[in-house]
Amino acid sequence: MLVGHRYRGVIGVRERQSNHLDSSAAGLYGAVSPGKRFPSAVKAHSTRNGVGMPRTRIRSLAVAAAVAVLVSGLTVSIPRASAQTDALPAFPGAEGFGAYATGGRGGSVYYVTNLNDRGPGSFRDAVSESNRTVVFAVGGIIRIDSRISVAPNITIAGQTAPGGGITVYGDGLSFTGADNTIARYFRVRQGVGGTPETDSIGVTYGKDMIFDHLSVSWGRDENFSVTAGDLNQPLDQQPVNVTIQNSIISQGLDPHSAGGLIESAGPISILHNLYTDNNIRSVKVKGVNQYVNNIIYNWRNEAYILGGSMFISHANVENSYFIAGPETASPPFVRGNENFNLYASKNFHDGNRNGQLDGYQVPRDEYTTVTWHDEPFDYPRVRTLSPQDAYRHVLANVGASKYRDRIDRFVVAEVQSLGTEGKIISDESAAPINGPGPIPDGRAPLDTDQDGMPDHWEVMVGLDPRAPDNNGDRNQNGYTNLEDYLNWLVA
């Protein structure tokens, strides 16, 4: 029996196909993850046009993905994941497929001590080597003139930054290959000066990543994409077990202005985020997708894209609220096809721009053409609010919310106008945005032994402020002492 929902490689495929399986039925597999409800069959249902469905059992999402790959005609080798008995979430509140990322747990501590683009004490240097927890002795804007690649097994603890926290501005971050990432509470704002045809944050392969309370904007291509270059590649060349949660993905720059490509045969969760002022792709999905309690505002031409082309997809789309802004010119759901296997529940659309949240539940015929499933795919259990409560909760909590900067306050206020305010931009340096600042710098608390935990907190909990003891577990809750501090900061 499997533990949790980590990607484990092929454990075994048991699929039973009943009748009506023709060549187009390649897209008709139910994806059933290991977990509380395993095993359970995805029942046969009719599509809108009455095509029969096979009854299937599949042991894991990875297997579902593998099957999807195999039926495309390619032979692939699926990597076996190492044994993993630690089912501790990355932090309290970590959810979805990326919930069990381990980050830099148990490794060394790296203090970012300046706002320089590179060199000792810089953010770029901090994330360049594995097995680190990155903490900040400074707050402010880190201006970068080229992209930064993040190494595997790193925790980026933006919540440690004093003052207004950290904004990375000028280009984007790549988490490609950054297995076991935990990234929390900072802002990445790429800007017009960034590398063309790249994203504010991009991941093209890698497993077990969770992005939480980030504010991501001004992408030149996408704002935040987790996308395999080719979904027919082996899974170790695709993103697997990734969560983006509690984050603001806003103001993708025209002429592209896109929320993100979420395209992988490996599973990806998009939970409790705000997507606003992105022309298209909030988000564009192929593959295995969990999309719950997202708020989408002022898209122009496309919001949730149901596949858009023929790759086989399995998605749970639940309790999200799509709210038209001044520029919105399309319905929320577009570009489905019969290879898009959809469970959808309680997604709301408010298109009347009247300053009140008074939308309606999106009926099936407004999801375009998909293959319907009446039961959700057995994806990780996540906190699920009503769409109305999600609206309030998300607006109050999303983004790098320990200190909500001027940009985040601006876009949240736009959303709160419920139809009258909002604009897709092409240059963040123009009014009314006027660039990324200011961010107050603040003053870091004293940390005599430089173990990432300040003296005052160590004394409070009974640790030794004169001896590095970040990797102990004084209260035996599974999190290191340093992680307890990081979690305490944002509890």
User: CA 143 to CA 114: how far, in whole Å?
Assistant: 11
Report the residue number, 75 or 476, with the smaller CB distance to Ca ion.
476
CA contacts within 13 A on the Cβ side of 470: 25
> Which is closer to Ca ion, CB of 405 or CB of 447?
447
Please report how close the Cβ of residue 457 comes to Ca ion at its closest, in angstroms: 8
* Segment interacting with Ca ion, rule: CB under 5 A, options 28-36, 245-253, 278-286, 351-359: 351-359
**Backbone conformation region of residue 374, classed left if phi is above 0, alpha if psi is from -120 to 50, else beta:** alpha
Is residue 411 a contact point for Ca ion (CB under 5 A)? no
Residue 456 Cβ vs Ca ion, minimum distance, rounded to whole Å: 10
Which of 408/484 has CB closer to Ca ion?
A: 484
Q: Which stretch binds Ca ion (CB under 5 A): 195-203, 206-214, 250-258, 481-489?
A: 481-489
Select the span of 137-145, 220-228, 347-355, 408-416 touching Ca ion (CB under 5 A).
Answer: 347-355
Question: Which lies closer to Ca ion via its Cβ, residue 117 or residue 451?
Answer: 451
Which tokens go with 125? 């240097």
Is residue 209 a contact point for Ca ion (CB under 5 A)? Answer: no
Nearer to Ca ion, 14 or 360 (CB): 360
Q: According to the binding rule CB under 5 A, does residue 297 interact with Ca ion?
A: no
86 makes contact with Ca ion (CB under 5 A) = no
Tell me the DSSP string of 144-201: -SS-EEPPSSEEEEGGG--TT-EEEESS-EE-TT--SEEEEEEEEE--TTSPTT--SE
* 59 labelled catalytic: no
14 neighbors 59 (Cβ within 8 angstroms): yes
The three-state secondary structure class of 24 is helix
Touching Ca ion, residues 440-459 (CB under 5 A): 447, 449, 451, 453, 458
Two structure tokens written together for 353: 């721009």
Q: Are strands 140-143 and 166-169 parallel, antiparallel or unpaired?
A: parallel
Q: Which is nearer to Ca ion, 130 or 417 (CB)?
A: 417
Work out whether 105 is an interface residue with Ca ion (CB under 5 A).
no
| 91 lies in the site for Ca ion, by CB under 5 A | no
How many Å apart are CA 464 and CA 461, to the nearest integer?
Answer: 9
How near is the Cβ of 464 to Ca ion at its closest, in Å? 5
CA pair distance 84, 2, nearest whole angstrom: 10
- List binders of Ca ion among 459-478 (CB under 5 A): 469, 473, 475, 477
375 binding Ca ion? (CB under 5 A):
no
**479 scored as a contact of Ca ion (CB under 5 A):** yes
Q: Which is nearer to Ca ion, 405 or 451 (CB)?
A: 451
Q: Which of 59, 132, 189, 281 is catalytic?
A: 281
Buried b (16+ CB within 10 A) or exposed e, 58-83: bbbbbbbbbbbbbeeeeebebbebee
- Least distance (Å) between residue 400 CB and Ca ion: 24
Closest approach, Cβ 405 to Ca ion, in A, equals 28
Calculate helix-pair angle for 387-397, 406-416, nearest 10 degrees.
Answer: 160
358 binds Ca ion (CB under 5 A): yes
Number of residues that bind Ca ion (CB under 5 A): 16
Question: Which is closer to Ca ion, CB of 46 or CB of 420?
Answer: 420
Q: How far is the CB of 444 from Ca ion (least distance, A)?
A: 12
**Binding of residue 352 to Ca ion (CB under 5 A):** yes
Task: Determine, following the binding rule CB under 5 A, whether residue 484 of this chain makes contact with Ca ion.
Answer: yes
Can you tell me the distance from the alpha carbon of 377 to that of 313, in angstroms, rounded to the nearest whole number?
11
User: Looking at 147-155, 350-358, 394-402, 428-436, which segment touches Ca ion (CB under 5 A)?
Assistant: 350-358
End-to-end CA distance of the chain: 33
Query: What is the Cβ-side half-sphere exposure of residue 376, based on CA atoms within 13 angstroms?
Result: 18
Instruction: Verify binding: residue 397, Ca ion, rule CB under 5 A.
Output: no
Of 407, 3, 78, 441, residue with least CA distance to 217 = 407
Q: Find, among 368, 394, 315, 362, the residue nearest to 27 by Cα.
A: 315
Side-chain half-sphere exposure of 407, counting CA atoms within 13 A: 34
**Which of the residues are catalytic?**
281
List residues binding Ca ion (CB under 5 A). Answer: 350, 352, 354, 356, 358, 447, 449, 451, 453, 458, 469, 473, 475, 477, 479, 484
